Amino acid sequence: MDHENRFASGLHAVIIDAGAIRADESVAKLVRTFHSAGVPTAVVLKELPADESLEDAAALDAWPLRVEGTDGPPVLRSNNSDRAVFVQAARRLRTTPAETVVVTRNAAGVRTAAAAGIGLIVGVDTTGDRSQLTSSGADVVVTDVAQANLTGLLSGTDPERAASPSDGAGDQWCGGADPAVSGWLLSYDSFDPEHEGTRETLCTLGNGYWATRGSAPSSTIDETHYPGTYFAGVYNRVISDIGDRLVESEHMVNAPDWTYVRIQVADGQPMCPGSTEMISHDQRLDLRHGVLTRTTRYRDNHDRITRITSRQLHSLATPHLAALEIAIQAENWAGQIQVRSAVNGDVSNSNAADDAPLNHHHLTIVDVIQPDAKTVVVEAVTNQSGISLATAARTRLRQGQVPAADGEGFTEAALAGHDFVLDVKPDAEVIIERSSRSLPHATGAPQQHR
């Protein structure tokens, strides 16, 4: 039975393959949601002794279920993975296998569900090899069952809309985002240099006045990353000498980067997504709240593991304001960590391949001001349209509720800000709170090229 024909009959019930799905609070919440909404839901337990009650299963004691015979969702216990288990579960839910969704984690569970004629099979990938699930017959693959839009599937939404297809056909537009997530969440569970440009674009935060690409705070313009800050109405023209002709081009100007925060162990290398020391990366854009969150872990050549989590937003209430919070956690080591917080004026309009031969420098840095040990202001001007850009960034560090020592100011070419050195201990977080205000304004009549 093909995918379209199976779905055409409708999906009305859910079977959780608890022999394969880890029974944690996220799954428990999912079951509670379905049960409270009146969605027929069954839990199939395999590989448990027949006389063992659900409450006695230590791994499942967080589940809001009761043993069959009460008013909770039905629980089936079986020592085999025969397809008859899924068929029986569907019957007890007073539906047919073709009208049922099965959620399972392993390839064997997927194959069993397919053999039972299940209408839609959701595979939960915990190994990073989704191909095993898709090749076994999974229609949708997710990395977290709590993010699967099963409500949309059960309400009659086409799986192509409720969840990206598991064959990856929908990955191109979203930079390889995790399919089948909530419609308000763009989620990535790994770092992919090939898709990073697309991800930075899709994870752009803005408020109508200005916007910032979703690049990592420690990144600079290179073949993988492209930090970009843009203001509505700020354009500039430049002349490019290409062979025997002059070409005039106009761009929305890439303004100084207010997000630049470089973090490194005192005797180590800077930590940035994509570096050789990175061991895991998770990135999520919450579209409902306008918050971009990253969690990246690094292991250096001394086996020191450091976790860095950042949250970033642009204010809707105060259009000129944006904020960045970074939590640094030394998981298994103690020592010193160095933080460089700066405004980076070394930016350009150089991300479009077609514009590679063109002049892409639109800014001139005119002044750097450091009014105190936490604040830096970088003033720049567009070199033809005469628009002044003032970018101010204020950085505060704390360990717990205790403020850290002030930073030491520095200016290196177009990079200006403050350096901080802190002592860290295992599992004790260092919090970086960074706010930025930017203000473009015209300073005079545009200059004409000659």
Quote the pLDDT of residue 297: 94
| Residue 434 to residues 99, 112, 374, 392, Cα–Cα distance (Å) | 51, 52, 10, 10
Q: Where are the domains of the chain?
A: 3-177, 195-442
Query: ∠325-331-336 over CA atoms, to 5°?
Result: 75
Identify the residue with better confidence: 342 or 28. Answer: 342
Q: Which of 268, 255, 272 is nearest to 220 (CA)?
A: 272
Quote the pLDDT of residue 170: 44
Residue 306's beta-bridge partner residues? 298, 330
Quote the pLDDT of residue 219: 95
Which pLDDT band, with edges at 50, 70 and 90, does 82 fall under? low
pLDDT over threshold 70, residue 388: yes
Query: 169 CB contacts (<8 Å, ≥6 apart)?
Result: none
> Do the bridges between strand 375-382 and strand 387-399 make them parallel or antiparallel, or are there none, so unpaired?
antiparallel
pLDDT over threshold 60, residue 95: yes
> Do the bridges between strand 100-104 and strand 210-212 make them parallel or antiparallel, or are there none, so unpaired?
unpaired
Asked if 385 and 443 touch (Cβ cutoff 8 Å), the reply is no
- Mean pLDDT lowest among 37-51, 118-132, 267-281, 347-361: 37-51
| Residue 214 to residues 202, 336, 338, Cα–Cα distance (Å) | 7, 28, 23
Q: For the chain, what is the radius of gyration of the CA atoms?
A: 27
pTM over 0.85: no
The three-class DSSP label of residue 36 is: helix
pLDDT over threshold 50, residue 56: no
pLDDT over threshold 80, residue 383: yes
pLDDT over threshold 50, residue 177: yes
Please state the rounded mean pLDDT for residues 233-243: 91
Quote the pLDDT of residue 307: 93
Q: What percent of the chain has pLDDT over 70?
A: 75
| Residue 393 to residues 147, 221, 230, Cα–Cα distance (Å) | 35, 20, 16
Quote the pLDDT of residue 26: 61
Q: State how far the Cα of 299 lies from the Cα of 287, in Å rounded to an integer.
A: 31
pLDDT over threshold 80, residue 81: no
What one-character DSSP code corresponds to residue 87? H
Q: State how far the Cα of 342 lies from the Cα of 151, in Å rounded to an integer.
A: 44
End-to-end CA gap in the chain: 70
Quote the pLDDT of residue 450: 37
For the stretch 121-167, pLDDT in tens is 888 887 777 778 888 888 888 776 665 666 555 654 444 444 443 34
Residue type, 335: G
- E-state strands within 117-162: 120-124, 140-142
Instruction: Spell out a b/e string for 186-208, using b for 16 or more CB atoms within 10 Å of the CB, else e.
Output: bbbbebeeebbbbbbebbbbbbe
Please state the rounded mean pLDDT for residues 88-107: 83
Quote the pLDDT of residue 375: 95
Q: What is the 3-state secondary structure (H, E, C) of 328-363?
A: EEECCCCEEEEEEEEEECCCCCCCCHHHCCCCCCCE
For all residues of the chain together, what is the average pLDDT? 79
pLDDT over threshold 60, residue 440: yes
Q: What percent of the chain has pLDDT over 90?
A: 44
- The structure tokens listed for 353 are 């391949």
pLDDT over threshold 60, residue 119: yes
The fourth-level CATH superfamily of domain 3-177 is HAD superfamily/HAD-like (3.40.50.1000)
Instruction: Spell out a b/e string for 127-159, using b for 16 or more CB atoms within 10 Å of the CB, else e.
Output: eeebeebbebbbbbbbbbbbbbbbebbbeebeb
Asked if 95 and 40 touch (Cβ cutoff 8 Å), the reply is yes
Which pLDDT band, with edges at 50, 70 and 90, does 405 fall under? confident
- Mean pLDDT lowest among 3-17, 96-110, 346-360: 3-17
- Mean pLDDT lowest among 100-109, 233-242, 344-353: 100-109
Asked if 78 and 85 touch (Cβ cutoff 8 Å), the reply is yes
Place of tokens 């959620």: 103
Q: What are phi and psi of 370, to 5 degrees?
A: -125, 90
pLDDT over threshold 70, residue 47: no
- Domain covering 195-442: architecture: Distorted Sandwich (2.70)
Neighbours of 307 (CB within 10 A): 17
